[in-house]
Chain A
């Protein structure tokens, strides 16, 4: 299952490192990554990731919300179909 992981918040050191480590620990592969700083301070990162078959979203969402708290940013992980259904015919 492919999902889109997004991180939005104030820029600081170690965001990508911590997110990547958490994903790796949970056997999740990063397929694509795109990152930008908006309005000089807002960190915006979007990753496409591949989740192991049969993994429920809750299993990865819980540790991601923990590191979101630690980093003071918002992290979302959403099945890619919500974006495909909205933006692709």
Chain B
């Protein structure tokens, strides 16, 4: 029998500490939709999304009501469109079909306008990548990603160079909306195939036909748990984070299994990621400050983040047999009030953020930079991030917004995307390095066979 304190603890997490299921994401394979006719291919994709995910919203809402826990987002992600559209070449038609289906289903984002070019790039994949700016500018809800490196393959510097240009062009084409297209474009190293979080979600080629992956969040719950540890040492803090992560993940698994069953899909993974929102009390930065920093960005930030990320993973792994996705702590600048405040007072620089990405679960996320930042500088930032991921055998990503026409101040994206302070990049350049292209060989420890 449950006791009253346990019941009230769960209620308090939901009511006061913003515990929520951040997303139920249905991952769909589109390999059965490949046709050489553009219209046929796009129509089949639309039909499959409606058939498989048409009830996603109503099922999500019913589960939220049954368990009394908010389910913030319901989303769909699909097989990499660079592969699905290769036969017809109708990439833009597919983007529009995805957008239309997302609107029909009533979901805010659909992911998978993606290419995996970590080692090489076919001419068709290059055509696809070149179509990304137009796809993002001519749709509202489509999200895109490019994987440009992996521990096994090294870094494809031709793709890194191209990605810098693509980001600049996307910023220009969506200049009337603060270059928001770039907020829907992620450049990865070691991209994962079952990540339920946007904008980088896609259904990997090794995945099933219809799979439910659930992302659960709760920075506020972790912060409140640490607050209750009065004067404990780091072992005690890590243990508290781990126990809290365990409890949160169990709910994620419950919801994921039920959603999969209701939607005739298979259960994939639970991704326990502390994903902040712009709401006060729902911040990863504030967890780090609770551990003992005067501000995120202070010396010691990287160590605190490492402890947090690692303890979250350990708690999650104990709670579910199928932990996946990115599972850890996200540090998006525009979506975290503590990060925004730290940048505003000069406590947090791009350089410190880069160091933090070596120990957190993703990378440089939702960072606005001056609109006149060159394509090669953006490519160089991507290359640095990819190097951290490739060498450390982890996922890293860059979601950067060179806000067209703005070089300082703030940029408002609205909603979950928040508001971002425009951060300074280095005055020096890496033009010659980026112009070289080619491949950075895989690290020595990739040779494991």
A6, A56, A58, A81: the one within 8 Å of B7 (CB):
A6
- Contact assessment for B8 and A46 in the assembled complex, using a CB-CB cutoff below 8 Å: yes
Main secondary structure on chain B at its contact with chain A?
Answer: helix
Distance between Cα atoms of A79 and B62 in the complex (Å) = 12
- Contact assessment for B68 and A78 in the assembled complex, using a CB-CB cutoff below 8 Å: yes
Q: Taking the nearest CB of chain B, how far is it from the CB of A50, in angstroms?
A: 14
Distance between Cα atoms of A79 and B66 in the complex (Å) = 6
Q: Taking the nearest CB of chain B, how far is it from the CB of A63, in angstroms?
A: 14
Which residues of chain B from 1 to 27 have any CB-CB distance to chain A below 8 Å in the complex? 1-2, 4, 6-11, 15
Which residue in chain A gives the minimum CB-CB distance to B67?
A82
- Contact assessment for B67 and A79 in the assembled complex, using a CB-CB cutoff below 8 Å: yes
Distance between Cα atoms of A81 and B68 in the complex (Å) = 11
Distance between Cα atoms of A78 and B447 in the complex (Å) = 51
Q: Is residue A17 within 8 Å, beta carbon to beta carbon, of the partner chain?
A: no
Which residue in chain B gives the minimum CB-CB distance to A32?
B1
Distance between Cα atoms of A81 and B8 in the complex (Å) = 14
- Contact assessment for A6 and B11 in the assembled complex, using a CB-CB cutoff below 8 Å: yes
Q: Is residue B416 within 8 Å, beta carbon to beta carbon, of the partner chain?
A: no
- Contact assessment for A36 and B68 in the assembled complex, using a CB-CB cutoff below 8 Å: no
Q: Is residue B435 within 8 Å, beta carbon to beta carbon, of the partner chain?
A: no
- Contact assessment for B250 and A85 in the assembled complex, using a CB-CB cutoff below 8 Å: yes
Which residues of chain A from 17 to 65 have any CB-CB distance to chain B below 8 Å in the complex? 32, 34, 36, 44, 46, 56-58, 61
Which residue in chain B gives the minimum CB-CB distance to A77?
B68
Number of interface residues of A (CB under 8 A): 26
- Contact assessment for B4 and A85 in the assembled complex, using a CB-CB cutoff below 8 Å: no
Given contacts A4-B7, A83-B10, contact A78 B67 (CB under 8 A): yes
Q: Taking the nearest CB of chain B, how far is it from the CB of A82, in angstroms?
A: 4
Which residue in chain B gives the minimum CB-CB distance to A36?
B4
Distance between Cα atoms of A47 and B78 in the complex (Å) = 43
Q: Is residue B293 within 8 Å, beta carbon to beta carbon, of the partner chain?
A: no
- Contact assessment for A87 and B67 in the assembled complex, using a CB-CB cutoff below 8 Å: no
B7, B15, B66, B253: the one within 8 Å of A83 (CB):
B7
A residues with a Cβ closer than 8 A to B are: 4, 6, 8, 32, 34, 36, 44, 46, 56-58, 61, 74, 76-88
Could you name 22 residue pairs across A and B whose Cβ atoms are closer than 8 Å? A6-B7, A6-B8, A46-B7, A57-B62, A57-B65, A58-B62, A61-B65, A78-B66, A78-B68, A79-B66, A79-B67, A81-B67, A82-B68, A82-B69, A83-B6, A84-B2, A85-B250, A85-B253, A85-B254, A86-B6, A86-B250, A87-B247
